[in-house]
Structures are given as C-alpha cells and as structure tokens.
Structure 1
Amino acid sequence: MQDHFEDKAEQRFTDAGEEVLYVTNPHFLYLFRAIASAFIMAVLFFTSIFILPWLPILIKFLLGCLLIVAVCYFVFKYLQWRRIECVVTPRRLITASGVFTIRSSEVPLERIGEITLNSPLFERLIGVGNLRVASLGEDSDINLHFIPQPAKLKAAINRAREARNTKGTGAAAPAALFSALDEIVKLGDLFDKGLITRNEFERYKAILFARFERDHGAPMSGDS
C-alpha cells in the first residue's frame, strides 16, 4: 500500500520536474474509529434483528439508520485517508488532503523551524506518531497525524534542509543573512498585528539565529 502512494507521488512530481526525496501517508490506524463505529453499530443492529426480535420496530429502525451513518462515515474516512499524503522534495514540504476537493499546503525548506515529534505509548509500540512542523513567517504550521515511522520523515526533512543549506554557504551567506533578517521583520509584523505572541516571536527569532550560525559558522549580529 505504501509503495502505491510512493509511486503516485513520484510520478506526479517527476512529471512536474521535481524530485521526490520522501513520501508517506497516514497509518491504517487513522481509520480505527470509523471501523470501530461501523462494527459496533452492525453488531447492535443484527443483534436486534436475529437475537432480540421482540424489540420495538422503532428501535430497530433507529439502529439501522445509525448503521447506515456509521458505514457512510467509514467510506468518507477511507476516501479521505487515500488522499492524504506528505511529500518532501529538495526545496519544500508538501501536504495534501481532501475527498471532493483536494487541499494542499507547502512550506519551503528554508522556512521550516522546529519539528516536534509526539508518539503516545500505544502508537509508539506500533511505530506510529504525530509530527508538528513549525513554519517561520506567514506560512501555516503543518500537523501530521498517525504517520508511520515519524522519525524517518523528520530525518528526511532535516537531510533535505541540510542539503539545501549546504548549497547556500560561502558566497551565498550574505544573501542568507538578508533573508533571515527579512524573516525576522515579517515575524515582527505578525507580532504587531497580534497574530503571534511575544513568546512565539522570540522562539522563532531564536530558531532563525541558531540556524544561520549553524549553517554559516558566523553569528548574526544585532537585535530585532
């Protein structure tokens, strides 16, 4: 199943002239609630028909309606699951989802800030977790749920960022400095407009400072 998603993504991005470094979709656990709901309603409905035939018709009718709703919910979630994907390319992170209308969002690798991995105990036991990718500037953060082997996705993103940053070292350092300062100015605008808090502003600014120093071996001077 995973190979099917990878082949589709690679073909689509290759046709667009962009290399695919890593692609994944949510684990089948994403459908657990929908499957459980449909199963429970099926058990209740058929129990009322074959084991408890003396139950009032109205109760059986309501159980039948709830079963139809549960099945429709499962079908919807399944189609949604089939459309969710996360793709890492040499220049951006892209996510796509939707059933009737595909919605996609992307973050350039240079705008990616902190990557947080969260795996509750049960999900960790089966190799599943959640990933939150903080975006610097005006891009929205990306939240990924029920990702199989999330550490691999995080590593792929970091490798792509490092490879892209390597291309920008040396003569490109001044341009990177101006780019980082521009990002801080944008963060200041967001803070002034009340769209981010003071703590978020300081955290994102510190990430920019640390990333520039790490990539170019020189600290950024000046405060914002």
Structure 2
Amino acid sequence: MQTLDAAAHLAVSDPASAIDSLPWLARALADDRAAGCFAAWGRSTVIDENVGAAVVPRGVFDELHERAGLAAEWPIGNAGVLHVYGYLLSTTPTPYGLKRDRWLSGELERACRLETGALLPWAPPKTLLSRATAAASTLLARADAVTEEFGGRTARIALGAPLPDGSAALAYAVDGRIVTMFPVADPGGVRAGLGAPRLRWNAV
C-alpha cells in the first residue's frame, strides 16, 4: 500500500516512472492492450461529477492511454483505463474517499460475493481489468437490472443482492460497454433516486 501511495504522488510529476515503479501495473496495461480488454469498456470523463475536478492529472491520463494503445482526448477517455487503473493513481479526495478504495478496501469484492483479495490490483494471475470486467458483466446480466433509454443511448444499471449490512455492488454500462462499478451502502436509495434517464457516474 505504501508503494502505491508513493507511486500516486510521483505520478503528479513523472507518470511514466510512477507506473514503472509498479511492475504489476505496467504489466497489466501491456497484457490488457495485447488482449483487447479495453474494448469492453465505454467512455468516461476524468472530471468527477462530485468534486468538479479531474481525479488524475493530464500527464497520468495521457500515459495510461498511451500504454493501453488507445487514442483519447482530455478529459474524455476509456472508462476501463480511468476507473480501474487511473483511480489507483488518484490522490483527489471525494465525498466517498479516494477513488482507489473500491479496489483496495475489500467492500466491492465482498458485495460481489468474491473471495477475499479477488479484486486487489496486484492479485495474480489475471489483470485487475479482466477481473473487474468479469465481475461487472455478471452484475449487468442480472434479470432485475434497470434499463434506461434516452437520446438514442441505452444504459443499464445493475445492483447485486444486498449483504447483511444492506450494502451491494453496482455496475453501470452504456450502449453495451461497462463504465464503472463500485459498492453502495444503500441500494434501495440508489434505485429510488434515479429519476429521469440520463448519463450517470461520469459516463459520456
């Protein structure tokens, strides 16, 4: 964890060295690029809707997309690059804590009914993106997922079965491509607060 913290702070001034300081991250980006894994993910803005600011610096945005082999024009990029790997290098505080917490705290993997450590970024043998893609796809396949249609777009919001404490995992996709996934403390409140169909959770 200290190594990840150090890399996140280094990334502000030297994103290439920061990524190289985390061999599992550099390797994951290369492996996901070779396997075409980023194609399962849609588009997202790096400007977070809760804080109104970028959650990773421009240099990190550019370096991650270059290593992923993807063209992106700031501030809009690949949601897998940003929500999975970019969040690991984010030091921007939000009302829900650091963005990386979803991959480190264990809450999301528990909500997905996965084994302990199943979504840790460095857990072998598969990349975090491939594991996150599988978990999100399972959620999005639920029969009770909500489908929204608006402006020629189709979005899907899926909430897993609640844990005993009431929390659940949420996955979101637009036009058949994953945008994000995270744990929610009050899934009933999420459903009740959806309102009119629109793009959500930084999707574009």
TM-score normalised according to structure 1 size? 0.22
TM-score normalised according to structure 2 size? 0.24
Structure number with greater CO (CA < 8 Å, separation at least 6) is 2
Q: Highest Rg: 1 or 2?
A: 1
